[in-house]
Structure 1
């Protein structure tokens, strides 16, 4: 008896679920696809800097070069506590012809700047200090989360506009959205090894000017599929 009751209850539940699925499929609907994109300029640029002791008779120590760099960066308005960190400190060994061994120290830093202009100022200052081992490591757009949400909203509105355009000639009306699928790609927060263009350094009365640097913009796009119920 209990088995019969369980069987009947299961059958009723299955029939109800099937009916609900069938009713959903029987609803007249229109599916639209919409994509929006934009280009943004990175506002966080990470510069990798390596300072090494010079293998010369009167070489400058790591500590002295570090202090010189810190002073120049402060003069440019760089917040050392917030924007400069040490990534790695190491020692390299080199053998001389006299079979003596000497330690040549090196330090690696990561510097964060917020614009191409600020980066140009920094690179010029480092060049003047004879610190040439620098490279752009990565760039980032700090408001990526807010931008993605804004683009998703625009994409849904665009899908609605397309649905209106498709149904208007038929005399039908677009109703509520019965299904929304977000098919957007995941965008990493960092753009590794970005391309950049360095324009020529100009000189005015012998005074060098900062580099004018244009960064490759980051493309961000979002895609949605929306099903709208239709009514006459």
Structure 2
């Protein structure tokens, strides 16, 4: 009995799939695609900072430079607990580099800042502390998920506008969406964009150097969708 039931269930399941596919093909439809994009300014900027004894005059220790850097960053409004992390974990145990008869210590950090202005202030402070080894690690946009959803909504609306424009001269109406395909590429943070950032030094009175106003390259975000709309007279 079981051997008879199983083939019958399989036949009914196949028939249901065929009927569904057939009914879909029988419905007149129009397929349109739409792409929307926008540019956003990164608001999460990661700076890679390395402190080395050889980078400072008078061979100040890494610990001395670290304390001075922490004081300057606090003065700039940086929350050290949330924005500064040690990148090289081995530096917790004081990593040593042997150069002939010299023993040089090094410590690496990742610093998060939220604007080009704050990045410029940090770079100037590091320069004044003779800490020269700092570069842009990566940039991000904090509200990327919300932005991508907004762009998808705009793309679907644009696809429907296209469908309406194509069918209106024919006296047909655009109905429900039969199928929606999201062909967007996922967003990934931008790494090592230092060559792409533009630095502008602003002088107040021709001699007084001001912090760099760093204009980072904007992030382009785009979304593409394909939509099949049912048509009716």
List alignment gaps of at least 5 residues for structure 2: none
What's the counterpart of residue 98 of structure 1? none
- Whose Rg is larger? 1
1:208 matched to 2:223: no
List alignment gaps of at least 5 residues for structure 1: 96-100
Q: Does the 8 Å contact 1:55/1:104 carry over to 2?
A: no
Query: TM-score normalised to the size of structure 1?
Result: 0.90
The 1-side partners of 2:180 and 2:117 are apart by 43
Query: TM-score normalised to the size of structure 2?
Result: 0.90
The 2-side partners of 1:36 and 1:170 are apart by 27
Q: Does the 8 Å contact 2:42/2:139 carry over to 1?
A: yes
1:226 matched to 2:227: yes
Q: Give RMSD over aligned pairs.
A: 2.0
1:101-131 deviation line (CA, Å, top 9, x unaligned)? 4421111111110000000001011101111
Matching of residues 39-188 of structure 1 within 5 Å: 39-54=39-54, 58-88=58-88, 89=91, 90-95=95-100, 101-188=101-188
Q: How far does residue 21 in structure 1 lie from its aligned partner after superposition?
A: 1.5
Residue correspondences, number: 226
Q: How far does residue 17 in structure 1 lie from its aligned partner after superposition?
A: 2.9
> Larger strand proportion, structure 1 or 2?
1
1:178-229 deviation line (CA, Å, top 9, x unaligned)? 11111111111x1111220112353636432001211011110001110111
Q: Identify if the C-alpha distance between structure 1 residues 141 and 5 changes in structure 2 by more than 3 Å, giving closer, same or farther.
A: closer
1:34 matched to 2:34: yes
The 1-side partners of 2:84 and 2:23 are apart by 62
Q: Does the 8 Å contact 1:39/1:219 carry over to 2?
A: yes
> Larger helix proportion, structure 1 or 2?
2
